[in-house]
């Protein structure tokens, strides 16, 4: 695909204040659904697509203001509802270095999305401008991407109306995976500098990943086929495009669930969320000739998340399904990178970041090898924590994650003088891995290639990878409550502080089971409370999880 096209150029703002007349006129064409409450949550604003028009228009306005606040740096807006059904949609903001929107802006986004009238909207924008001291005469630049949902077209139009009302330069990046949009934002903001991240085009993204991958796997033998479930989403065309840059001897992919022109198929019975939640193959895979020992993986609907799996025995037998989730990817990557750093002979601290959802066995395994931190759920929390290590490996169990190399780690890798041929080889690999791994956000395509690289280097199939540790049986239940905001947590969501007394009751229940752990947290994306439970004995899992859920329901 070609360079993103500039679809509207900057329009100077007249006077000192907000262009209130332009905003009001444009806003009248994007009325807010009366009484509807929006929240900027873990992954932006997300809900039913047919209620999101006003929100998208307003996010356009905010995106322009964020860019102005940062002196005209390019901000990203991604329209997607990830693993959710096709009727849903959402929009999230990406900051200039490719990371999530600075969290102090989130409450303002919520307030602006909820302003009932155009006048209230202007007033809430003025509050943001005053609070963050936004210089309205600064230029603004915003790049917009979207996934395969049919609702994206009108929502993008609403965003563009918002951007135009603010006179922002708008770059329409078109159909993109979420991580591609993050990549573009970082490239656009670093081009021409010492930290240039890459060519700011989709093609540049494929070339960067493919070149690094080819360097890493060359001379390591032919690749056995990898079956990829693309969730019938944007990951399908992206995977197809990526493979054009990688010779088949290096990556042999069987792409399934690629029906992007059948909208209702998006994430339907397939995708990373389906596989992780149900701990089974995508629906219909038993008829797809999948074989025991074959590597398989699933993307989610916007391709920022991946899980792997394989069958130990015949397809159809539930017990033969083995999941290799985000925790298993983290352990594979942390082990491999630690070894490379050691062989390279450089002094770098590698650490791992997980959330409370990480399987207890994975945490135990990792803690025996590297420092491990736990953060609340949501990519932004893990990402920031990972920045405190020289090499920060972060993964949520659900398959969101990546690896960050600090600027000084990258310099050390570039400038080290190797003491042996082995050290030189390790340094070359580390340097290629810096390019292979998307440093802006978890990326299904990039993570898929990373796993392929490590398995090839180790000459491992999925079974050897799986052998690192045995997951404790676990499940997540959803409890519908009247007000999920009554549930407040501490200690990286591992304990409840409110409702009063509930945590003690949970502790009491958990104490009855062997090696058990359970926690309760309000969802950041849905109107419910989630209950996680794990324990040593499989037959005790359901009683444990249902007892904790009952306690929650009694308090709700
Ligand atoms: C969002 C988050 C994901 C988190 C999930 C939890 C991003 C990009 N995505 O999808 O990291 O695991 O929410 O959902 O941050 P929940 O709060 O509904 O359990
Ligand atoms: Mg996603």
pLDDT at 12 over 70: no
Instruction: Please tell me the predicted confidence (pLDDT) of residue 16.
Output: 66
For ligand 1, atom 19, the nearest C-alpha belongs to: 523
**42, 80, 99, 327, best to mutate for ligand 1 pocket (most atoms within 8 Å of CB):** 42
pTM, two decimals, is 0.95
Residues with CB under 6 A from ligand 1: 42-43, 82, 377-379, 396, 398, 400, 523-526, 530
For ligand 1, atom 10, the nearest C-alpha belongs to: 43
Q: How many CA within 13 A on the CB side of residue 355?
A: 23
We find that the CATH architecture of domain 219-324 is 3-Layer(aba) Sandwich (3.40)
Taking the domains of the chain in order of start, what are their residue ranges?
A: 6-198, 219-324, 326-466, 474-555
Per the omega criterion (within 30 degrees of 0), is the bond before 499 cis?
yes
Query: What are 459-497's pLDDT values in tens digits?
Result: 999 999 999 999 999 999 999 999 999 999 999 999 999
Query: What are 92-106's pLDDT values in tens digits?
Result: 999 999 999 999 999
Ligand 1 centroid to residue 370 C-alpha, Å: 25
Q: What integer is the mean pLDDT of 124-135?
A: 97
Query: What are 399-458's pLDDT values in tens digits?
Result: 999 999 999 999 999 999 999 999 999 999 999 999 999 999 999 999 999 999 999 999
How far apart are alpha carbons 142 and 6 in whole angstroms? 10
Answer whether 6-198 and 474-555 agree in fold: no
Atom of ligand 1 nearest to the CA of 523: 17
Instruction: Please tell me the predicted confidence (pLDDT) of residue 9.
Output: 36
Q: What integer is the mean pLDDT of 234-262?
A: 97
Ligand with an atom nearest the CA of residue 444? 2
- The mean pLDDT value of the chain amounts to 94
Ligand with an atom nearest the CA of residue 303? 2
Name 313's Cβ contacts closer than 8 Å, sequence gap at least 6.
292, 319, 320
How far apart are alpha carbons 329 and 442 in whole angstroms? 12
Ligand 2 centroid to residue 232 C-alpha, Å: 13
Ligand with an atom nearest the CA of residue 92? 1
How far apart are alpha carbons 302 and 296 in whole angstroms? 18
Binding residues are 82, 300, 302, 304, 396-398, 521-525, 530
Class of domain 326-466: alpha beta
Atom of ligand 1 nearest to the CA of 524: 17
Atom of ligand 1 nearest to the CA of 83: 10
pLDDT at 51 over 60: yes
- Collapse the DSSP code of 79 into the 3-class scheme (helix H, G, I; strand E, B; otherwise coil) and give the result: strand
pLDDT at 302 over 80: yes
Pairing mode, strands 401-405 and 474-479: unpaired
Pick the CATH number of 474-555 from 1.10.645.10, 3.30.310.50, 3.40.50.10860, 3.40.50.2300: 3.30.310.50
pLDDT at 5 over 80: no
Ligand 2 centroid to residue 273 C-alpha, Å: 9
Q: Order of strands across the sheet with 401-405?
A: 372-375, 350-355, 391-395, 401-405
Q: What integer is the mean pLDDT of 51-62?
A: 98
Q: What integer is the mean pLDDT of 203-232?
A: 95
What are the catalytic residues? Answer: 82
Instruction: Please tell me the predicted confidence (pLDDT) of residue 15.
Output: 47
Alpha helix ranges (H) inside 200-302: 202-217, 235-243, 271-278
Class of domain 6-198: alpha beta
Instruction: Please tell me the predicted confidence (pLDDT) of residue 240.
Output: 98
Angle at 233 between CA 227 and CA 236, to 5 degrees: 45
Ligand 2 centroid to residue 193 C-alpha, Å: 30
Ligand 1 centroid to residue 103 C-alpha, Å: 15
Q: What integer is the mean pLDDT of 59-88?
A: 97
Ligand 2 centroid to residue 80 C-alpha, Å: 8
Q: Are 384 and 363 in contact (CB under 8 A)?
A: no
For ligand 1, atom 5, the nearest C-alpha belongs to: 378
Query: What are 288-301's pLDDT values in tens digits?
Result: 889 999 999 999 99
Atom of ligand 1 nearest to the CA of 396: 12
Atom of ligand 1 nearest to the CA of 304: 8
Distances (CA, A) of 437 to 189, 190, 206, 255, 441: 19, 17, 12, 21, 9
Binding residues for substrate are 396-398, 521-525, 530
Percent of the chain whose pLDDT exceeds 90: 92
User: pLDDT grade, residue 43 (50/70/90)?
Assistant: confident
User: pLDDT grade, residue 6 (50/70/90)?
Assistant: very low
**100, 480, 493, 525, best to mutate for ligand 1 pocket (most atoms within 8 Å of CB):** 525
Q: What integer is the mean pLDDT of 174-178?
A: 98
Binding residues for Mg(2+) are 82, 300, 302, 304
Percent of the chain whose pLDDT exceeds 70: 97
Instruction: Please tell me the predicted confidence (pLDDT) of residue 379.
Output: 93
């Amino acid at each position: 695909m070609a360079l993103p096209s500039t679809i509207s150029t900057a329009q100077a703002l007249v006077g000192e204040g907000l262009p209130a007349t332009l905003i009001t006129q444009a806003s009248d064409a994007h009325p807010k659904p009366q009484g509807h409450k929006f929240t900027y949550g873990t992954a932006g604003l997300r809900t039913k697509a047919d209620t999101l028009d006003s929100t998208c228009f307003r996010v356009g306005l905010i995106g322009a203001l964020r860019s102005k606040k940062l002196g005209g740096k390019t901000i990203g807006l991604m329209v997607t509802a990830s693993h959710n059904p096709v009727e849903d949609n959402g929009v999230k903001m990406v900051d200039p270095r490719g990371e999530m929107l600075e969290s102090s802006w989130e409450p303002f986004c919520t307030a602006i999305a909820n302003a009932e009238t155009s006048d209230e909207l202007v007033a809430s924008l003025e509050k943001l401008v005053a609070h963050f001291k936004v210089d309205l005469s600064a230029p603004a630049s915003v790049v917009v991407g979207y996934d395969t949902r049919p609702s994206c077209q009108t929502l993008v139009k609403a965003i563009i109306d918002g951007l135009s009302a603010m006179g922002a330069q708008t770059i329409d990046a078109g159909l993109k995976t979420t991580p591609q949009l993050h990549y573009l934002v970082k490239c656009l903001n670093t081009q021409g500098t010492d930290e240039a991240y890459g060519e700011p085009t989709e093609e540049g993204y494929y070339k960067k990943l493919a070149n690094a991958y080819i360097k890493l796997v060359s001379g390591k033998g032919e690749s056995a086929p990898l079956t990829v479930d693309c969730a019938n989403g944007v990951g399908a065309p992206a995977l197809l495009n990526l493979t054009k840059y990688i010779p088949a001897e290096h990556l042999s992919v069987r792409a399934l669930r690629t029906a992007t022109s059948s909208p209702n198929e998006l994430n339907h019975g397939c995708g990373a969320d389906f596989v992780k939640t149900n701990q089974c193959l995508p629906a219909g895979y038993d008829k797809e000739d999948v074989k025991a020992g074959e590597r398989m993986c699933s993307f989610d609907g916007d391709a920022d998340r991946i899980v792997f799996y394989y069958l130990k025995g015949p397809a159809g037998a539930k017990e033969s399904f083995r999941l290799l989730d985000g925790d298993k990817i983290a352990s594979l990557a942390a082990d491999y990178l630690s070894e490379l750093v050691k062989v390279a002979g450089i002094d770098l601290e590698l650490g791992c970041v997980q959330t409370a959802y990480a399987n207890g066995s994975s945490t135990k395994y990792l803690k025996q090898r590297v420092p491990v931190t736990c953060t609340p759920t949501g990519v932004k929390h893990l990402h920031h924590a990972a920045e405190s290590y020289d090499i920060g490996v972060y993964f949520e169990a659900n398959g969101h994650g990546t690896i960050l190399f600090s600027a000084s780690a990258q310099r050390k890798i570039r400038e080290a003088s190797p003491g042996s041929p082995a050290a030189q080889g390790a340094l070359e690999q580390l340097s290629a891995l810096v390019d292979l791994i998307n440093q802006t956000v978890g990326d299904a395509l990039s993570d898929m290639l990373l796993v392929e690289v490590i398995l090839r280097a180790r000459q491992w199939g999925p079974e050897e990878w799986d052998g690192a540790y045995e997951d404790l049986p676990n499940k997540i239940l959803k409890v519908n409550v009247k007000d999920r905001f009554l549930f407040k947590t501490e200690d990286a969501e591992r304990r409840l502080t409110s409702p009063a007394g509930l945590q003690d009751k949970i502790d009491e229940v958990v104490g009855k089971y062997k090696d058990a752990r359970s926690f309760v947290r309000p969802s950041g994306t849905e109107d419910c409370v989630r209950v996680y439970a794990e324990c040593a004995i499989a037959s005790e899992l359901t009683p444990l999880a249902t007892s904790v859920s009952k306690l929650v329901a009694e308090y709700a």
